[in-house]
Chains A and B, each alone.
Chain A
Amino acid sequence: MLLIACPWCGPRDEAEFHYGGQAHVAHPDDPAALSDEEWARYLFFRDNPKGLFAERWSHAAGCRRWFNAVRDTATNEIHAVYRVGEPRPVNS
């Protein structure tokens, strides 16, 4: 089980959290202007790296707030935790 440091509540068991997949995926400004290909990319394609991955979590059984984390999917080590709206930390 992962130990995840909620930016508001501190380290808690993974079982308290809800996973939200890849972070920093912006909704297209003008969806109608996209080609089918571009829309498919937005809808169905997410990065799936073996390595560092910026992802969203919500502290569902705690403060219920969303935040982002950078985790290494090859080791499960969490390199950074940061609040929504903050940029992805550069060194992770």
Chain B
Amino acid sequence: MNPLPPHLPDHPDRLWRSAEPKRSYDVVIVGGGGHGLATAYYLAKNHGITDVAVLERGWLAGGNMARNTTIIRSNYLWDESAGIYEHALKLWEGLEEDLGYPLLFSQRGVLNLAHSLQDVRESVRRVNANRLNGVDAEWLTPEQVKEVCPIVEISPDVRYPVLGATFQPRAGIAKHDYVAWGFARAAADLGVDMIEHCEVTGLDVRDGRVTGVRTTRGPIAAKKVALAAAGHSSVVAGFAGVALPLQSHPLQALVSELLEPVHPTVVMSNAVHVYVSQAHKGELVMGAGIDAANSYRQRGAFHIIERQMAAALELFPVFARAHVLRTWGGVVDVTPDASPVVGLTPVEDLYVNCGWGTGGFKATPGVGWCYAHTVATGEPHPLNAPFSLDRFTTGRLVDEHGAAAVAH
């Protein structure tokens, strides 16, 4: 290889040190997506636990963290959900300052459209529930929807007319890569080891207690192991014989070419399975629904994209001439009640955070905060206690299908 020509600038500073795995850690986090990185950061920052490794089979945040449509909101129905998602939203509001890193966090509001009488009733109920929980929420008529987002078609003469929408003004978007980099940099500064290309292939369990992990880069002992493997959670928990109520599905999204600013907010529609925002650079970002069949392939079926585009065009006729630039998929871990699983497992010192399905990006700082508490103290944080694995046995489900089903 030729040496670099002398006129080229030096490589910019690395955001974090790439570490070699040590033989043991106080805490090993499996999965270097947003949740794993945020958990590492808060373990170090809030609990002073810095002998921590984040193990990532690919590159940091190359999973769903790099593939999501970045919608952030907290307008979920039940008190339990409002608790953890609103905690996350409050953290988002101070996160750029806390991490000392720009995140392009933009509180441009989110509209959740209602297209049927049933939608209207559920939406109004959700607005009332949100307000009781201190979450900002409004019910808007079709005309008010048009004021917030002038390009939405509100004519009654379409297949699924817009009958109104819930609006959360504090909701919005952020730049997912920057969020991952911000957490990784801040955690590494506090002493956390970021270890990429290190796949966990086994968990060592002795007398009902986890003692370490097997990896493609050798065995690593650990006092505690925190799983944060999103779509692969069933696989890694299975190494310790822990069954999770998850099904892994592909979820797709796409972007258009760069356009002038036309779309000032975020619009989501559960009924027609599409959600749309415009990124800072100018691309329209659109998400679809999950593929019905289980799969670990990071690509989905084309007919899903076709339906999603049909829905988008009915809502936004102005998009008719826009071109799709790129489509992609991630693998999401879906639970029976559309709520996550965060907490202890039947194996001692083994913790699980999974089941965020199609909507875990928005929770990144909140879940990092609460999961770090759970791992550090060995007790669930009050905000994730309702999301324990045993709710499927006790029957205390947190059914968020209305607020989360397809959408984010």
Q: Cβ of B232 and Cβ of A50 under 8 Å apart?
A: yes
Bound form: Cα–Cα A2–B299 in Å: 12
Note all chain B residues with C-beta closer than 8 A to A91.
none
Q: Cβ of A1 and Cβ of B296 under 8 Å apart?
A: no
> Which residue of B247, B297, B303, B393 is within 8 Å of A21 (Cβ)?
B247
Count A/B pairs, Cβ under 8 Å. Answer: 61
Q: How far is the CB of A20 from chain B (nearest CB, A)?
A: 9
Bound form: Cα–Cα A13–B302 in Å: 11
For chain B residues 360-408, which have a beta carbon within 8 Å of chain A? Answer: 392-395
> What mask results when residues 152 to 196 of chain B are scored 1 for a CB within 8 Å of chain A, else 0?
000000000000000000000000000000000000000000000
Bound form: Cα–Cα A76–B298 in Å: 11
Q: Cβ of B296 and Cβ of A45 under 8 Å apart?
A: no
Note all chain B residues with C-beta closer than 8 A to A50.
232, 234-235, 248, 296
A79 beta carbon closer than 8 Å to chain B: no
> Which residue of B232, B245, B248 is within 8 Å of A44 (Cβ)?
B245
Q: Cβ of B392 and Cβ of A40 under 8 Å apart?
A: yes
> Which residue of B247, B292, B393 is within 8 Å of A48 (Cβ)?
B247
Bound form: Cα–Cα A41–B303 in Å: 33
B18 beta carbon closer than 8 Å to chain A: no
Q: Cβ of A45 and Cβ of B392 under 8 Å apart?
A: yes
State which size class the interface on A falls in.
20 to 34
Note all chain A residues with C-beta closer than 8 A to B255.
none
Note all chain A residues with C-beta closer than 8 A to B393.
36-37, 40
Contacts known (A36-B394, A45-B243, A48-B234); A2 close to B293, Cβ less than 8 A: yes
Q: Please name the residue on chain B nearest to A36 by beta carbon.
A: B393
B301 beta carbon closer than 8 Å to chain A: yes
> What mask results when residues 48 to 80 of chain A are scored 1 for a CB within 8 Å of chain B, else 0?
111001010000000000000001011110000
Given A49-B235, A76-B295, 15 additional A-B pairs, CB 8 A: A1-B303, A2-B293, A21-B247, A40-B392, A43-B336, A44-B245, A44-B336, A44-B392, A46-B247, A48-B246, A48-B247, A50-B234, A50-B296, A73-B248, A73-B297
